[in-house]
Amino acid sequence: MIEKMFENALWSSRFIIVFAVVFGLVGAVILFAVASIDIVVTAKYVITTYVTGAHPEKFHQDVVGGIIGAVDLYLIGVVMLLFSFGLYELFISDIDPAKDDSGGDNQLLAIHSLDQLKDKISKVIVMVLVVGFFQKVGHTDYNSALDMFYFALSITAISVGLYFLGKVGKKEPLKDNTK
C-alpha cells in the first residue's frame, strides 16, 4: 500500500512541469512583445529620418540591425514556445487542438520524445546564431582584403553547416540493387 501511494505521488509530481510550461509561454510572449516594440522603434526612426530629411551616416546598417535584432528575438520566442509545447506534450498530455480533424498531429509542434524536442530546439537555436552573426556582420568594417576573405570564409562555413544540418534526420531511400 505504501508502495502504491509513493508511486502515485511520484507519477503526480510530473505536474511540476506546468511551471516550466507557463513561464516558458510567458517568456515567449515577452520576447514577442519586445521584438514587436523594436520593429515599431525602427519604423519610427525610419519615418523620422525621412520626414526631417536627415540621413545619418549608418542609417541602413541601423535599420537592418534593428530588424534583424527583432527577428532574433522572435526566433528565441519560438524556442520558448517549442520548449513549452514539448514539455507539456511529453510530461502532461497531448494538446488536443493541435490534432487535425482526421486525428493526425500538426507536425510543426508534435513532439513525442526528448530527442525530437532537442532537435527542434537546436535547429531554431542554430538559426538564432546565424541571424546574430549576420547582425554583427552588418556593423563590421572591412578594411583589407584579408577581412573580406574572412567574411567570405565565415559565410561559406555557415552555409556548409546549414546544409549538413538540413541533412540530419533525413534518410536516403533504400536503393534497389536487385537489378
Buried b (16+ CB within 10 A) or exposed e, 96-118: eeeeeeeeeeeeebbbeeeebbe
Tell me the per-residue pLDDT of 41-96, one tens digit each, with 9 for 90 and over.
999 999 998 888 887 888 888 888 889 889 989 999 998 998 898 888 888 887 77
Torsion from C-alpha of 100, 102, 108, 109, nearest 10 degrees:
70
For residue 38, the model assigns a pLDDT of: 95
**How far apart are alpha carbons 84 and 30 in whole angstroms?**
14
> At how many degrees (to 10) do helices 59-91 and 17-52 cross?
160
For residue 74, the model assigns a pLDDT of: 94
Tell me the per-residue pLDDT of 107-125, one tens digit each, with 9 for 90 and over.
666 677 888 888 878 888 8
Prediction pTM value: 0.73
**How far apart are alpha carbons 66 and 25 in whole angstroms?**
24
**How far apart are alpha carbons 118 and 120 in whole angstroms?**
6
**How far apart are alpha carbons 168 and 23 in whole angstroms?**
31
Closest Cα to residue 22, out of 62, 76, 81? 81
For residue 99, which phi and psi values (nearest 5 degrees)?
A: -85, 140
